[in-house]
């Protein structure tokens, strides 16, 4: 077995040093009834070639996003990631290190986390950010729990444009804690309903922009209404590239901003691993979940970084911790941070503009398709359209033309009654040819 | 696993090592590396992007007017920055990483290669299911292996890490109690030696937590458990092998008492690597157990994640598993994504999409490489290595539980340091100067000055001997009164001891421009 260094001679020598007759003696505390005698009914060990063959065979049965016109978004986005990003994250010292509990020999990871936190704070327009969450949806749920701790209120109002998976995740966790979750009906523009739903019992208002329908909103009025009622405003973003072009959550009055960071530095990976971004106003820092990295000095007065404010965390506070999170998304945060360092201020803006440019091209092309109604007034890189008939069937039909036409809204929320709504995203990877193939397919399948 | 070092903030002595100072701050191959904010340019970029004919008329006043404040680096500068930083990290690829309960084992590179195949990495979670049959098949095979290895009938794959898996298990338990009309069960029993995530998760789910006492031989106190089990108890959470590195000998009795009291038995599977292939948790009466794929099945820890924490479930809890999961449909495999139909009792969704696919590929490649025989050998070698370390150090250091074998990790206390003036922390820091990463310190909390050493099965005898020789030399030095060596340590690491008290008292969590700096104008 190529991964096991001990030889039979080693094992015999070691057993002798221990004073055990055989390895079974080391398992003597396992009750007799619970010892598995035989090998389990699974294949025996396999060489690299054999494993590679099996997995390559499985991979070949999937259609990768890059293999043709592709318009899926809805919380995960296909972007080009520079080759150097993946190369650096495979450095042994990043890939195979643990959580940086011994700061003297983990300054690499710690400095990266400090830089990551600084980048996330800047992007979101807020003062502090943590060292990452599992993904955007769990970050959203944690933000709602944090609002409960800050306000000591039990009600969260979720806007109708919040990604249905985020709403479901938040409901699962917040409901367990006894919170009341008010989820407004799915709507491209839900501001009026949201303003109406805020009251003196509200702990937080959760607004997504760009929302699941691709709609970009100015949430300043919602922030004012939330604050007037003593509630916090949580702004959710599932497309982190949009920060490069749009007003930041902090600038619009958000108290907490959470986002899915996958778009920057990370592959689609069929849904994970991703990286949750979590930022907040400085005065809320002691109620934040997750790890925080802070600056300090060493015994010689040299600058260094450590994990800090750990008294919020489960390994110190146990049942009184702000969250149960332990492992986070360190390596995905590293990929995010490298990609963002490569982009910089100028590159991120250019990338965001390229995305919006493609979405605008997509919008104009869809506009020309008879029967298609564009539902998203102001968009970043994603649009919701209404089609005659069932959007899921249309996606299946387009597949026969070699086009992955987007995400039918019914897949995210079958109960919403929006079976004719299709979500389409365009990014810098989308070409004019892709858009032409899409519109040809839609025209054909919509029977015009 | 977490280490409790930060529970005891350290404030290093302000002694100087000026004799070692260089003129530039660099040290040999180690550069003094600034932050990207100090290195980068506001107009610089390391990515060549198409220049487009940008038209903001569809966005109006939503376009950002203020600069973000992000530095940019060219590719050579970026590569150098991160490679220089990487050199300040310890890694399992450099040497043994003996963090008890963290399971730092070799990460096979084949697994990295497989996870990067475009057929896995470049798949969108919401593309049509007919285009991802291979991915669903992989999830299905992974689930089969996990169920077979644990002897459990069901598995929920989506939890994103161990603590997320605990949440999944406890939510399933809660849903099962509520479905049976036993919503009044609001208490979870947890041994005092448990990982911090256990009580934190129970509290997160809205349960109260009560501690179970430990016997003098490091196991659950059955009498105390029996006394605390009652109609208010929803679940008992036990780690097995436990955090003292010991197998719970009375595990069958723990399960029996728990079930008799109408509660569910949650097993923290963080240490499953010690028994994989030899013991099936299903045979122990477990109702739910999370499996840290990043521990037992060697997906890389990546400096703190990502992990993956699938949860195996008993027949009683299986109906409450969260969406989504893979089912056989009329057109091949399909994802059951909504809590309806046959999933009507599911407690909901734990995250967007379907969990950590990238980790599933790596873990599956690891399992297939080892096979049924190799996985059993994994557990045996992990346990053998830990017992070897215990045997080689027990004459100088004091094992917390000297009688009988340990499982995959060897636990020492600090009695042997009494009177030397050296603490567990000092000893750990001195290990750094000798080129070793310290063991887990001050955890579990039930042992004074704990030092928990987990070698894993991927260490050779030669590396174990090198490690034991270093610890023996250090122990001898401590007992000989050479306490200065320990108090000043580490002296040879990229940095000396850091002032954690300062960091916590005046938190600086993000870079701020110096007052004199010119604001960026993109």
**Do residue B228 and residue B323 come from a single domain?**
yes
pTM over 0.90: yes
Sort residue A305 into left (φ over 0), alpha (ψ -120 to 50) or beta.
Answer: beta
Looking at the 3D structure of chain B, how many domains does it have? 2
All structural domains of chain A, each given as residue ranges with its CATH number in brackets, are: 69-79+345-445 (3.90.1150.10), 83-339 (3.40.640.10)
Give CA–CA dist B41/B144, Å, rounded: 51
Q: Which residue has the higher pLDDT, A60 or B27?
A: A60
CB contact under 8 A, B2 and A218: no
For the cut 90, the answer to whether the pLDDT of residue B29 exceeds it is: no
Share of chain B above pLDDT 70, in %: 94
Helix (H, G, I), strand (E, B) or coil at B81: helix
Q: Which residues contact B521 (CB under 8 A, 6 or more apart)?
A: B42, B67
For the cut 50, the answer to whether the pLDDT of residue B6 exceeds it is: no
**Do residue B222 and residue B136 come from a single domain?**
yes
Among residues B332, B366, B400, which one ends one of the domains?
B366
**Do residue B255 and residue B402 come from a single domain?**
no
Among residues B335, B366, B397, which one ends one of the domains?
B366
Residues of chain A with Cβ-Cβ distance to B292 below 8 Å are 327
Identify the helix (H) or strand (E) that includes residue B440: strand B440-441
**Does residue B80 fall inside a structural domain?**
no
Predicted local confidence at residue A177, as pLDDT: 82
**Tens digit of each residue's pLDDT (9 = 90 or more) over B319-360:** 999 989 899 988 899 999 887 766 678 889 999 999 999 999
Predicted local confidence at residue B458, as pLDDT: 98
Predicted local confidence at residue B339, as pLDDT: 73
Instruction: Search chain B and give the residue with CA nearest A415.
Output: B338
DSSP string, B87-140: TTB--TTTS---BTTT------HHHHHHHTSHHHHT--TTS-GGGBHHHHHHHH
CB contact under 8 A, A97 and B302: yes
CB contact under 8 A, B89 and A94: yes
Q: What angle do CA B493, B495, B499 make, to 5 degrees?
A: 135
CB contact under 8 A, B45 and A346: yes
Residues of chain B with Cβ-Cβ distance to A2 below 8 Å are 369
Dihedral through CA A208, CA A210, CA A211, CA A215, nearest 10? 130
Residues of chain A with Cβ-Cβ distance to B82 below 8 Å are 88, 91, 94, 112, 338
Query: Which of B351, B429, B445 best probes binding to A when mutated, by most A CB atoms within 10 angstroms?
Result: B351
Predicted local confidence at residue B167, as pLDDT: 95
Tokens representing A303 are 């600058």
Residues of chain B with Cβ-Cβ distance to A33 below 8 Å are 252, 283
Give CA–CA dist A307/A322, Å, rounded: 16
Task: Provide block-wise average pLDDT over 10 residues at a time, chain A (448 residues).
Answer: 97 98 98 91 98 98 98 98 98 97 97 98 98 98 96 97 97 89 96 96 98 97 98 98 98 98 98 98 96 96 95 84 89 98 97 98 97 98 97 98 98 96 98 98 88
**Does residue B516 fall inside a structural domain?**
no
Give CA–CA dist A350/B52, Å, rounded: 8
**Does residue B191 fall inside a structural domain?**
yes
For the cut 80, the answer to whether the pLDDT of residue B522 exceeds it is: no
CB contact under 8 A, B304 and A309: no
Predicted local confidence at residue B379, as pLDDT: 98
**Does residue B293 fall inside a structural domain?**
yes
**Do residue B143 and residue B272 come from a single domain?**
yes
**Do residue B500 and residue B353 come from a single domain?**
no
Share of chain B above pLDDT 90, in %: 86
Residues of chain A with Cβ-Cβ distance to B78 below 8 Å are 84, 88, 338, 341-342
Q: Which of B21, B69, B357 is the closest to A269 by Cβ?
A: B357
**Do residue B356 and residue B376 come from a single domain?**
no
**Does residue B425 fall inside a structural domain?**
yes
Predicted local confidence at residue B13, as pLDDT: 62
Distance from CA of B469 to the nearest CA of A (A): 15
Give CA–CA dist B119/A313, Å, rounded: 38
Q: Which of B372, B499, B500 is the closest to A39 by Cβ?
A: B372
**CATH number, domain containing residue B257:** 3.40.640.10
Give CA–CA dist A352/A359, Å, rounded: 11
**Do residue B317 and residue B388 come from a single domain?**
no
**Does residue B268 fall inside a structural domain?**
yes
CB contact under 8 A, A273 and B306: yes
Distance from CA of A436 to the nearest CA of B (A): 18
Could you give the strand order of the β-sheet that contains B451-453, starting from the edge strand earlier in sequence? B410-412, B451-453, B440-441
CB contact under 8 A, A298 and B12: yes
Give CA–CA dist B287/B5, Å, rounded: 33
**CATH number, domain containing residue B382:** 3.90.1150.10
CB contact under 8 A, B199 and A319: yes
**Does residue B188 fall inside a structural domain?**
yes
Q: Which residues contact B243 (CB under 8 A, 6 or more apart)?
A: B1, B100, B101, B193, B194, B195, B271, B443, B444, B452
Give CA–CA dist A278/A286, Å, rounded: 13
CB contact under 8 A, A218 and B62: yes
Among residues B336, B366, B396, which one ends one of the domains?
B366
Predicted confidence band at B493 (pLDDT cuts at 50, 70, 90)?
very high
Residues of chain B with Cβ-Cβ distance to A251 below 8 Å are 64, 66
Q: Which of B200, B247, B380 is the closest to A318 by Cβ?
A: B200
Predicted confidence band at B21 (pLDDT cuts at 50, 70, 90)?
confident
Predicted local confidence at residue B204, as pLDDT: 87
Instruction: Search chain A and give the residue with CA nearest B359.
Output: A273
Residues of chain B with Cβ-Cβ distance to A346 below 8 Å are 42-45, 72, 522
**Structural domain harbouring B438:** 372-505
**Do residue B357 and residue B380 come from a single domain?**
no
**Do residue B310 and residue B181 come from a single domain?**
yes
Give CA–CA dist A439/B269, Å, rounded: 51
Q: Which of B18, B246, B350 is the closest to A29 by Cβ?
A: B246
Predicted local confidence at residue A324, as pLDDT: 87
Residues of chain A with Cβ-Cβ distance to B174 below 8 Å are 176
For the cut 70, the answer to whether the pLDDT of residue B19 exceeds it is: no
**Does residue B288 fall inside a structural domain?**
yes
Predicted local confidence at residue B513, as pLDDT: 76
- ipTM given for this complex: 0.98
Query: Which of A238, A344, A349 best probes binding to B when mutated, by most B CB atoms within 10 angstroms?
Result: A344
CB contact under 8 A, B498 and A43: no
CB contact under 8 A, A43 and B493: no
Q: How many other C-beta atoms lie within 10 A of the C-beta of residue B153?
A: 14
**Do residue B281 and residue B159 come from a single domain?**
yes
**Do residue B293 and residue B404 come from a single domain?**
no
**Do residue B221 and residue B247 come from a single domain?**
yes
In this predicted structure, which of A379-388, B24-33, B237-246, B446-455 has the lowest mean pLDDT?
B24-33
Instruction: Search chain A and give the residue with CA nearest B352.
Output: A165
Predicted confidence band at B4 (pLDDT cuts at 50, 70, 90)?
very low
Identify the helix (H) or strand (E) that includes residue B29: none
Q: Which of A62, A251, A341 is the closest to B40 by Cβ?
A: A341
CB contact under 8 A, B503 and A306: yes
Q: Determine the average pLDDT of the residues in B49-75.
A: 93
CB contact under 8 A, A309 and B370: no
How many DSSP H helices and E strands does chain B contain?
14, 12
CB contact under 8 A, B357 and A270: yes
**Tens digit of each residue's pLDDT (9 = 90 or more) over B223-269:** 999 999 999 999 999 999 999 999 999 999 999 999 999 999 999 99
CB contact under 8 A, A300 and B18: yes
């Amino acid at each position: 077995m190529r991964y096991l260094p001990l030889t039979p001679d080693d094992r015999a020598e070691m057993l002798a040093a221990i004073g055990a007759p055989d390895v079974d003696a080391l398992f003597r505390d396992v009750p007799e009834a619970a010892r598995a005698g035989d090998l389990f009914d699974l294949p025996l060990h396999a060489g690299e070639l054999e494993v590679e063959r099996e997995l390559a065979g499985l991979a070949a049965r999937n259609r990768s996003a890059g293999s043709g016109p592709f318009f899926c978004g809805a919380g995960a986005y296909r972007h080009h990631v520079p080759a150097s990003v993946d190369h650096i994250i495979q450095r042994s010292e990043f890939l195979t290190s643990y959580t940086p509990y011994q700061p003297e020999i983990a300054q690499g990871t710690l400095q990266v986390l400090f830089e990551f936190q600084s980048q996330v704070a800047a992007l979101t327009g807020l003062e502090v950010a943590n060292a990452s969450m599992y993904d955007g949806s769990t970050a959203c749920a944690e933000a709602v729990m944090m609002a409960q701790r800050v306000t000591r209120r039990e009600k969260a109002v979720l806007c109708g444009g919040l990604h249905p998976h985020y709403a479901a995740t938040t409901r699962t966790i917040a409901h367990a804690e006894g919170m009341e979750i008010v989820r407004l009906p799915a709507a491209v523009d839900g501001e009026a309903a949201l303003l109406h739903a805020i009251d003196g019992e509200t702990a937080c208002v959760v607004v997504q922009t760009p929302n699941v329908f691709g709609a970009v909103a100015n949430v300043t009025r919602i922030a004012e209404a939330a604050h007037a009622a003593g509630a916090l405003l949580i702004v959710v973003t599932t497309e982190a590239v949009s920060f490069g072009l749009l007003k930041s959550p902090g600038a619009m009055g958000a108290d907490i901003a959470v986002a899915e960071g996958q778009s920057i530095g990370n592959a689609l990976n069929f849904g994970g691993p991703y990286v949750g971004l979590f930022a907040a106003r400085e005065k809320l820092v002691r109620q934040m979940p997750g790890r925080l990295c802070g600056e300090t000095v060493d015994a010689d007065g040299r600058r260094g970084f450590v994990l800090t404010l750990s008294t919020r965390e489960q390994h110190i506070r146990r049942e009184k911790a702000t969250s149960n999170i332990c492992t986070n998304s360190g390596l995905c945060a590293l990929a995010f941070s490298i990609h963002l360092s490569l982009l910089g201020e100028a590159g991120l803006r250019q990338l965001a503009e390229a995305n919006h440019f493609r979405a605008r091209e997509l919008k104009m092309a869809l506009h020309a398709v008879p029967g298609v109604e564009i539902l998203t007034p102001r968009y970043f890189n994603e649009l919701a359209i209404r089609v005659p008939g069932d959007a899921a069937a249309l996606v299946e039909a387009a597949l026969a033309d070699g086009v992955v036409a987007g995400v039918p809204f019914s897949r995210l929320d079958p109960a919403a009654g929006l079976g004719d709504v299709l979500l389409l995203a365009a990014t810098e990877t989308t070409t004019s040819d892709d858009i032409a193939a899409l519109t040809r397919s839609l025209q054909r399948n919509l029977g015009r | 696993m977490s280490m409790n070092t930060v529970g005891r903030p350290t404030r290093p002595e302000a002694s100087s090592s000026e004799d070692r100072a260089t003129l530039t701050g660099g040290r040999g191959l180690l550069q003094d590396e600034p932050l990207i904010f100090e290195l980068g340019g506001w107009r610089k970029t390391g990515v060549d992007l198409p220049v487009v004919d940008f038209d903001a008329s569809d966005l109006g006043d939503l376009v950002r007017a203020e600069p973000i404040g992000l530095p940019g680096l060219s590719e050579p500068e970026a590569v150098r920055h991160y490679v220089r930083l990487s050199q300040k990290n310890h890694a399992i690829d450099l040497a043994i990483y003996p963090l008890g309960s963290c399971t730092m084992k070799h990460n096979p590179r084949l697994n990295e290669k497989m996870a990067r195949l475009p057929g896995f990495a470049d798949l969108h979670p919401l593309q049509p299911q007919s285009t991802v049959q291979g991915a669903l098949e992989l999830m299905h095979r992974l689930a089969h292996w996990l169920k077979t290895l644990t002897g459990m009938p069901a598995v929920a794959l989506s939890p994103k890490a161990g603590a997320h898996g605990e949440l999944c298990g406890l939510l399933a338990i809660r849903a099962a109690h509520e479905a049976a009309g036993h919503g009044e069960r609001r208490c979870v029993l947890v041994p005092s030696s448990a990982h911090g995530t256990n009580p934190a998760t129970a509290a997160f789910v809205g349960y109260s937590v009560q501690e179970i006492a430990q016997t003098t031989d490091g196991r659950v106190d059955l009498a105390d458990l029996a006394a605390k089990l009652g109609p208010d108890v929803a679940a008992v959470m036990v780690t097995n092998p436990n955090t003292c590195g010991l197998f719970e000998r009375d595990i069958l009795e723990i399960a029996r008492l728990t079930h008799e009291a109408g509660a569910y038995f949650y097993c923290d599977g963080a240490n499953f690597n010690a028994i994989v292939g030899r013991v099936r948790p299903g045979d122990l009466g477990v109702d739910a157990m999370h499996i840290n794929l990043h521990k037992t099945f060697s997906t890389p820890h990546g400096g703190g994640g990502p992990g993956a924490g699938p949860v195996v479930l008993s027949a009683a809890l299986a109906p409450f598993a969260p969406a989504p999961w893979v089912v056989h449909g009329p057109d091949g495999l399909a994802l059951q994504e909504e809590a309806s139909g046959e999933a009507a009792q599911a407690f909901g969704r734990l995250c967007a999409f379907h969990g950590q696919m990238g980790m599933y590929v790596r873990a599956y490649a690891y399992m297939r490489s080892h096979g049924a025989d190799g996985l059993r050998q994994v557990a045996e070698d992990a346990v053998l290595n830990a017992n070897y370390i215990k045997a080689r150090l027990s004459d100088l250091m004091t094992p917390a539980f000297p009688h009988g074998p340990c499982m995959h990790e060897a636990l020492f206390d600090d009695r042997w340091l009494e009177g030397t003036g050296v603490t567990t922390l000092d000893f750990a820091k001195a290990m750094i100067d000798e080129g070793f990463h310290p063991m887990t310190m001050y955890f579990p909390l039930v042992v004074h000055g704990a030092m928990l050493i987990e070698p894993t099965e991927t260490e050779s005898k030669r590396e174990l001997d090198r490690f034991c020789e270093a610890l023996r030399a250090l122990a001898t030095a401590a007992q000989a009164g050479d306490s200065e060596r320990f108090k000043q340590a580490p002296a040879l690491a990229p940095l000396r001891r850091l002032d954690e008290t300062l960091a916590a008292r005046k938190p600086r969590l993000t870079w701020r421009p110096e007052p004199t700096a010119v604001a960026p104008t993109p």
